[in-house]
Amino acid sequence: MITVQELLFNRGLDKNAKIKLVRHKDQRQDLYNLYRTEYNEFLKYQNSQSKDVFRDVDYIVSFIGEEGNRSRFIGVFKIIDRKTINENHFEYQMLRENGFEDLTERVIINWKTAISWHQWIKNKMEVIEIQAGLHYRQFTDYSDFILDFHELKEIVKNQYSDWKKMLSITKGIYLISDTNTGKLYVGSAYGEEGIWGRWCKYITTNGHGNNKMLKEQIDVDKDYAKHFRFSILMLLPRTVTSDQAIKKERLFKNKLGTNSFGLNSN
């Protein structure tokens, strides 16, 4: 059994320091997406606590909780300051430690006792997976993700099997949101390769997917698609016809107003 302690100490983490392992998981929000897309907001989340859980702690080893007891390593942080705002609010100032970059987002551990989200490092945690260059969470559920354009590009480029399998076997209505302008695009995937096949087209065309309006934007700014985020609005049966899928697509366009105020042109 390889433990996360072995990996960390072998890369220079001070064995004599006071260190806590911390597992972040919050049913109210997608913390991994927050970490990936709004890093400073994630740090505010991590640094602000209702109890003084990091009192007299030198370092925290931070993880984001996934399905079951799976926990993804995201970094080692040194605590350099602590402030008591009131009896229910404590603020910590932390700096991310260098030297652990090759482990970040790749190491998955089995978290002992999920209800205890912060534990001293003496509690050994088994490494159950080290993913090769993986910079996104595993596929879990069709309604449980939002993918940035660069994440989708990595998934398609590397043909990650879990995403390819699950997106290929279903058809549906999907949403592209432009986080720079707030505009939305609604599309439908009803081909043989399902949502996977349709989304691959966005990657091979640098983001426009042969859509007229998106192509016009990308012709002006080749990096326009870097602000895109992809998600699924509705799953459709494998037997759905193109007419049925387009009818559902039109319904969502009307609901979201993407013809009048968004990125749909028809």
Question: What whole-number distance in Å separates Cα of residue 84 and Cα of residue 65?
Answer: 27
CA angle at 212 for the pair 211 and 217, rounded to the nearest 5°: 100
Tell me the angle at which helices 149-158 and 194-204 cross, rounded to the nearest 10 degrees: 110
Q: Which of 224, 164, 241, 148 is nearest to 197 (CA)?
A: 164
Residue 80 φ then ψ, to 5°: -110, -10
Strands 107-110 and 147-148: unpaired
Whether the predicted pLDDT of 214 surpasses 80: yes
Question: Beta-strand (E) ranges in 133-218?
Answer: 147-148, 171-178, 184-189
Entry field: residues in the chain: 266
Sign of CA dihedral 238, 242, 247, 249: positive
Specify the CATH number for 147-256; select among 3.40.1440.10, 3.40.50.450, 3.40.50.11400, 3.90.1580.10: 3.40.1440.10
Question: What whole-number distance in Å separates Cα of residue 78 and Cα of residue 96?
Answer: 6
Tens of pLDDT, residues 68-86: 899 999 999 999 999 999 9
pTM for the full predicted model: 0.55
Whether the predicted pLDDT of 9 surpasses 70: yes
Tens of pLDDT, residues 218-240: 999 988 999 999 999 999 999 99
CA angle at 50 for the pair 49 and 52, rounded to the nearest 5°: 70
pLDDT of residue 135: 55
pLDDT of residue 133: 56
Q: Label residue 38 by pLDDT band (50, 70, 90).
A: confident
Residue 120 φ then ψ, to 5°: -65, 150
Q: 66-98: buried (b, 16+ CB within 10 Å) or exposed (e) per residue?
A: beebbbbbbbbbebeebeeeeeeebebebeebe
Tens of pLDDT, residues 179-190: 989 999 999 999
Domain definitions of the chain by residue range: 4-130, 147-256
- Average pLDDT in the chain: 92
Q: Which of 177, 197, 189 is nearest to 235 (CA)?
A: 189
Tens of pLDDT, residues 131-176: 765 455 678 889 888 998 988 998 898 888 889 999 999 999 999 9
Mean pLDDT along residues 77-98: 95
Q: Write the DSSP symbol of residue 234.
A: E
Answer whether 214's CB lies under 8 Å from 263's CB.
yes
Q: Label residue 200 by pLDDT band (50, 70, 90).
A: very high
CA angle at 181 for the pair 176 and 183, rounded to the nearest 5°: 40
